[in-house]
Amino acid sequence: MTDFAKKTAAPDNSQSFSQLLDESGFAEENTAGKIVNGTIVRVEEENVFINIGMRSEGIVPLKEFVDENGNCEVAEGTCVDVLIKGVGRGLPKISKADADSMKHFEDLKQTFSNEQPVKVKAAKRIKGGVECVIEGTGAKAFLPSSQVLIGKNRQGADKVMNQSFDALIIEMEGRRIVLSRKKLLERERAEKMAEFVKQIDVGMLVKGVVSNIIPPGVFVDLTDGSGTIEGFIPVSEVAWKRIKTPGDVLKPGEEITVKIIDIRQDSGRIALSYKQTQSTPWEDFAEKTPQNSRIKGKIANVNEAGVFVEVAEGVVGLVHPDNISWKEKVDPVDEYGENKGKEIEVMMMWCDPVRKKMSLGVKQLQKDPWKTAVRKLKKGENVLTGKVKKEVRGGLVLELDDDIEGFIRFSDLADSDGGRDGEHYKTGMEITGVVKNIDNKSRTVTLSAEMLVRKNEREILKEFTNKQGEGSGAKLGDFISDKIGAVKNEEED
């Protein structure tokens, strides 16, 4: 074929379109931004040459093969993924580091979508938080100070510097990654709390360590010191006695035994009590104070019910109105109303530490005049004189000796005393009668003036009879008149 024929001949259609496209370089120029797999063909001092199927080999700096630990593993014939950043004059610009970064970022997006944790290392303290490196990817991420610890503590950023820990990705926008260690801790705590709650019940005693003390109460770590599961002791459950602050009783780091008093299944909150693991002030008092002991206390309150006396901190007993005086029932307000806060001596008659009740007495500090008085009285024999205190239904109340009370019915009054009704008897008037009855329950001695008249008559008759036996010729009427005159002379004297 002549030269002209060669020049004007149709082109050879045996070559494929793709081959022609490759030879033109157009395809290479449109692969920018893609990750391809290549083969290492040569390793030099600073560069690694990789065949990626183009007309020219790509070059990657050797330093891109150095891992986080400073190790560099590269060998000819090894396959590696690289990112084609562009093609200039037939020479591809490639990067292993960028390829790794793109792949890691895609993996991180999947991790973010699945809410899975990543391992990070706190690398640098920056404004508002910590710059972290996601291990295994080299990707940088931001950990805000508010997302380091559970609660409102923003001082945790300094505590995690240069440490490795797990965190959740909470935000990905472009290449910006935001982390939260707090959310992961909260999630882990909720999971552990749910499991822990299944194993406990209200009323159980558990051990823990005081983790934090605030004015409203005390936080107690119920786990291994990690703070994953915490319970709370309200200030009212710290101690039986009055305290200014929970720190007066408990200290951070102190190992204690507490009682579970409430479990909130929905929120996972556990309410605890420290004081309920300790003996109560009532129990301590009852153990140390025998019945019928003489003790001192301060008058805490006074009302119609009686006198309330604080005998120990948090322990208050009651002096009932009946236990104030042996003489008569006393109005507590009249007797002690102005003595609030003052010291008083009482007798502890009985104490119930479970019901938190105690009976105290003032009159019991003295001997019971009733027992002394009635010991020497006999019905139908002893003659007593009392002064009228008041008139009541059916009779008169008398004030007898030895601070005891007497009573005489109108029907037992003698005609000689003024009749059988209360009209003739004034307060302070004396009435004499023989002991008719002794009532220990009402602590009253009942007298009878009528019985006394008959008693005197019997004695006079007996004496007259004895005189007659001795040969006396006296008449009964004269004898009685003489006796009555002698009695009147004694009363006048």
pLDDT of residue 24: 46
DSSP assignment, residue 294? E
User: What stretches in the chain show pLDDT beneath 50?
Assistant: 1-11, 17-18, 20-21, 24-27, 491
**Mind giving me the DSSP string for 378-424?**
-TTT-EEEEEEEEEETTEEEEE-GGG-EEEEEGGGS-GGGT-SSGGG
Nearest CA among 211, 141, 214 for reference residue 176: 141
Within its chain, how far is the Cα of 332 from the centroid?
Answer: 36
For the entire predicted model, the pTM comes to 0.51
Are the C-beta atoms of residues 395 and 446 closer than 8 Å to each other? Answer: no
Q: Return the SS3 of 264.
A: strand
**What is the CA angle 282-288-291, rounded to 5?**
90
Strands 395-399 and 383-392: antiparallel
pLDDT of residue 485: 57
Q: What is the pLDDT of residues 43-79, one digit of tens each?
A: 888 899 999 888 888 898 988 888 777 788 888 898 9
DSSP assignment, residue 365? G
| Half-sphere exposure (Cβ direction) of 191: Cα atoms closer than 13 Å | 6
DSSP H/E element including 49: strand 47-51
Measured distance CA(162)–CA(165) in Å, rounded = 10
For 110, residues 6+ apart whose C-beta sits below 8 A from its C-beta are none
Residue 355, number of CB atoms within 10 A of its CB: 8
pLDDT of residue 260: 95
DSSP H/E element including 23: helix 17-24
pLDDT of residue 21: 42
Are the C-beta atoms of residues 165 and 181 closer than 8 Å to each other? Answer: yes
Are the C-beta atoms of residues 251 and 210 closer than 8 Å to each other? Answer: yes
Measured distance CA(241)–CA(360) in Å, rounded = 22
**Mind giving me the DSSP string for 63-119?**
GGGB-TTS-B---TT-EEEEEEEEEETTEEEEEHHHHHHHHHHHHHHHHHHHT-EEE
Torsion region of 203: left, alpha or beta (phi above 0 gives left; psi -120 to 50 gives alpha): left
For 242, residues 6+ apart whose C-beta sits below 8 A from its C-beta are 313, 314
Classify residue 424 as exposed, middle or buried by CB count within 10 Å of its CB (0-12, 13-18, 19+): exposed
CA dihedral of residues 272, 278, 282, 286 (deg, nearest 10):
160
For 340, residues 6+ apart whose C-beta sits below 8 A from its C-beta are 299, 300, 301, 302
Are the C-beta atoms of residues 240 and 227 closer than 8 Å to each other? Answer: no
DSSP H/E element including 489: helix 476-492
Measured distance CA(59)–CA(80) in Å, rounded = 12
pLDDT of residue 387: 92
pLDDT of residue 462: 73
What are the backbone dihedrals phi and psi of residue 35, each rounded to the nearest 5 degrees, phi first? -100, 125
Bridge partners (DSSP) listed for residue 360: 319, 348
Question: What structural domains does the chain harbor?
Answer: 27-100 (2.40.50.140), 115-185 (2.40.50.140), 200-277 (2.40.50.140), 281-365 (2.40.50.140), 376-454 (2.40.50.140)
